[in-house]
Amino acid sequence: MNNDVFADIGLRALNSRQGNLEEVKPAELPPIFLPSEKSDSGAAFELAQKIDSAEELAAELARQRQHYAPFLEDLAPPFPPMRISKRIEEFQWRLETAGDRKNFGGLLAGAGEWTEVKMPHYGGPIGRAVAYYRTSFSITREMLEKGSVFVCFRAVDYIAHVFVNARFLGSHEGFFAPFEFECGDVVNEGENIRSDRWKFFEGEVMPFEFWVCNDTHHAPEDLLLRWQVEQKGRVVFAQKVPARIESTRATFQGFFAPQAPAVAQRTQFTLRLALGEIDTSIEYEVFPKLPLSRPSPCTRVIRDYAEYLRSRREFDSMVCDGGRVVFLELPPGEYEIGGSVVKVSECMMRPREFVSRATGHPLVEGFGPEDFKCWYDPEAGWFRPLLGTVFEAEGWIPILTSGNGVSGGGGTWKAKLASAELPAGNGSYIVCQIGLEAWAKHNPIAGIFLHRLMEGGSAPAASNHVA
């Protein structure tokens, strides 16, 4: 017969601590006796009616609610809603192609084959992949009057880079965590101005797209679209045309493409667009033409590392005597420069549309936070990534920085170099992974920075002080 474990426990003798147990005796009650000899017929009572059905229960609950309603009334003043929400579910989607990595601006403009999808959506494949989602939405005056506009996400797998109206808002890493970005400065009610460029050389044609976004079914026919260019609060150009408005859609009005005026220094302008009593504006800048960039006698530009190896002694001696050797766009790999090892690698995830100039280096003095961002490519017709590779090197002074993306194995974000300087003797070596020579013709910031690298102290100013 099998042993009953629980029976064994019940039959087991109590241990020696039993004597420590105290028996709890009933409390002594006072001698109070209620009447029990003579009956009082008036004290008899009727039993409460028993609830026997669902209908009787519902009726009793209704009676109780009515009875207690005055005590449950919410007398507090209503709390005004802090946000106006607009759910966006309809998107266009596609996976990244090799061409997208070279022409990201075209992707933002809608190039390629897109599939209509509805959120939530997962398009695969399993594993590491890059996908793009795009949509459009309208903003009302009531939303703008709240003071801030946020684009909010419940979850994105796994890293998201968010753009609104071709402006980069920010990045987020993490699947299940919700996140949001403020976009009030790049969205507007009604009319909108769109451009892939915000910086021009004097004499260049400046193309700006005008759009009217209508979120209602009403399409007025008697409104004028007016625009003006301002400089230091003074109107220097103004014009108007009848607006073309369609119900519940954004309608392209046309290009405004003036020629950039001649300027003596970096000059800021405001382009303002108005429809009725509503207006929006963007800021753009015009730069004077730069002189042709040629290396100074004390600067040598290396475009092929083999050239440096062939004449290393000459280049190192030049640096020791106070010269500068500039390496442009080294391919991925390891290089020995000035006794230091430089490790160049491709940007993880994808090439970068922006780099940080917040290093304090003299070569980036006077540049603004938005200067090294979204440079325009005239061949593509939009802006493209400006940085395809980054590097690491001990002892180098950062000039421009980026990041490594997310490394394999779940690593954390780490700053890497886009351009840096290694002092040696009386001179220095500089590595720059941004293709400045290709960008300089149509991007003033690229031209100024290239001029500084090649000509040292005779570089033109990049001050944010505007005329």
Residue range 439-467, pLDDT digits in tens = 888 899 999 999 999 876 444 555 544 33
Quick one: pLDDT at residue 392?
94
Which of 408, 399, 464 minimizes the C-alpha distance to 429?
399
- Rounded Cα gap, residues 231 and 252, in angstroms: 26
Task: Look up the pTM and report it.
Answer: 0.63
Element (H, E) at 449: helix 444-455
- Which SS3 state, helix, strand or coil, does residue 433 take? coil
- What structural domains does the chain harbor? 90-182 (no CATH), 191-287 (2.60.40.10), 299-458 (3.40.50)
Q: Which tops the pLDDT comparison, 54 or 4?
A: 54
List beta partners, residue 388.
none
- Rounded Cα gap, residues 194 and 209, in angstroms: 5
Query: 329: Cβ–Cβ under 8 A, 6 or more apart, which residues?
Result: 303, 389, 432, 433, 434, 435
Contact 456, 299 (CB under 8 A): yes
Give the lowest-confidence range in 10-19, 65-74, 331-340, 403-412. Answer: 403-412
Quick one: pLDDT at residue 464?
45
DSSP state of 387: B
Alpha carbon distances (Å) from 272 to 191, 280, 310, 316: 10, 6, 56, 54
List beta partners, residue 415.
403
Quote the mean pLDDT of the chain. 83
CA torsion sign for 263, 443, 383, 364 is: negative
